[in-house]
Amino acid sequence: MSTNTVEHNRRRYDFSGIESVWLFGYGSLIYKVDFPYLEQRPAMIRGWQRRFWQGSHDHRGTPEAPGRVATLVEKPGAVCKGMAFRVSPSVFEHLDVREKNGYLRFSTTLTFDDGSHAEGLVYIATEDNEAYLGHAPDAQIARQIASAAGPSGPNADYLLRLAESLRALGDDCPHTFAIESLVRSADSGDRSSG
């Protein structure tokens, strides 16, 4: 599948007659809210785990030196915390472009902090998209993130802001925090040797 998923996403769902849709954010959608929303609530989805396995050629890297950003990988029993936004379907005109580098919209069940549930959508970059990088050791992922930058800024900023946001949500994401620790220690090592 092409990395540009805009048209594919626009064909996936018919929002006719729908006034609002829940959207689950687990990466930059948590902290970079550049879209209008009707309501915002912490939420989680089950059966998925956050992984830095998606290449970013358009925001946090370049085609020659892609960054790594979060996607979701299926894992039975896993819980992924994030932020849910109730949005007007018109918001997807913007978000489909923002998330165009390999991400597709999927239906999911969201669980809110009070135990209530709602159906919503989530953007996931699956392993069949051209920008998918897949599993690598944490140290390798950290090195790639520490060195990559793109039109939206350094890849490390994405990682560090996401880690801060997850802590604010009370989430314990060992994968994100392990990579954050490696990037921070590499950064402090660079400063002390310079």
CATH number, domain containing residue 136 = 3.10.490.10
| CB-based contacts of 31, cutoff 8 Å, min separation 6 | 161, 162, 164, 165
| pLDDT, position 189 | 57
| pLDDT, position 24 | 98
Choose, from 39, 99, 127, 130, the residue flagged as catalytic: 99
Mean pLDDT for 61-68 is: 94
Q: Is 190 inside a domain boundary?
A: no
Q: Is 52 inside a domain boundary?
A: yes
Q: Is 25 inside a domain boundary?
A: yes
Q: Is 118 inside a domain boundary?
A: yes
Q: Is 149 inside a domain boundary?
A: yes
**Percent of the chain scoring above 70 in pLDDT:** 93
Q: Is 54 inside a domain boundary?
A: yes
Q: Is the pLDDT of residue 13 over 80?
A: no
Mean pLDDT for 168-190 is: 89
Q: Is 56 inside a domain boundary?
A: yes
> Chain-centre distance of CA 31, in angstroms?
10
Domain count, the chain: 1
The boundaries of the domain holding residue 126 are: 6-184
What is the C-alpha to C-alpha distance for residues 104 and 117, in angstroms, rounded to an integer?
22
Q: Is 41 inside a domain boundary?
A: yes
Does the predicted model carry a pTM greater than 0.75?
yes
**Percent of the chain scoring above 90 in pLDDT:** 82
Is residue 7 annotated as a catalytic residue, yes or no? no
